[in-house]
Structure 1
């Protein structure tokens, strides 16, 4: 099977799009960063370093300290595909992030986006 093109895309270029999407909907860059840190385990300084280094998505997730154990609670459809049914682990992580950013842009509260217990 051919490799997905998104795997080799620059994380920094997609990160900018995430921020633009959030800001168009009245949300903030800090919220995008919080979501990414929650999902990947990066600290803010590490995240900024990864963005500045122009690494690809594969490397971004490979170097992530730890995927949040609650990531499996992320469900729903992104690009017509249910994220919980994606078989490729890297593609699933990318779509988890896409789904969280979509939820942010749709106005969900951060506690719900970050799957915090009530």
Structure 2
């Protein structure tokens, strides 16, 4: 699926720190923990807690966030629908990586076991 240029530019510039609190709220409302969220983020990006905090403090854009990430080689195993779009059909790499993260957060919030979320 091709995403229009205006949307891509908006998402590229969006700070990770603008979305992160929503991730925390979403998982905590469903009885999951911030530590589990960080475990999912670490699996996908290779970022530890200190890295996440640094990106939050710097207000790193999603484009910069994923440019610095060491994406897990099993990330392409993340499939399904997020926001009405099939993750595996997204053409733009940054948008696809962002949707990978959204999908993992959704699975965590839905109560899926962390061991199953962390595909391998």
TM-score by length of structure 2 reads: 0.91
Structure 2 counterpart of 1:62: 67
The answer for unaligned runs of 5 or more in structure 1 is none
Give the alignment partner of residue 100 of structure 1, picking from 104, 112, 117.
Answer: 104
* 1:73-100 Cα shifts (integer Å, max 9, x gaps): 1000001111011100000000000000
How do residues 6-85 of structure 1 correspond to structure 2 at under 5 angstroms? 6-64=11-69, 66-85=70-89
Q: Which runs of 4+ in 1 moved over 3 A?
A: none
CA distance in 2, matches of 1:74, 1:36: 13
1:49-93 Cα deviation digits (max 9, x unpaired)? 1111111111111111x1000101100000111101110000000
Alignment partners' CA distance in 2, 1:96 and 1:80: 14
CA distance in 2, matches of 1:41, 1:100: 14
Using the size of structure 1 for normalisation, the TM-score is: 0.93
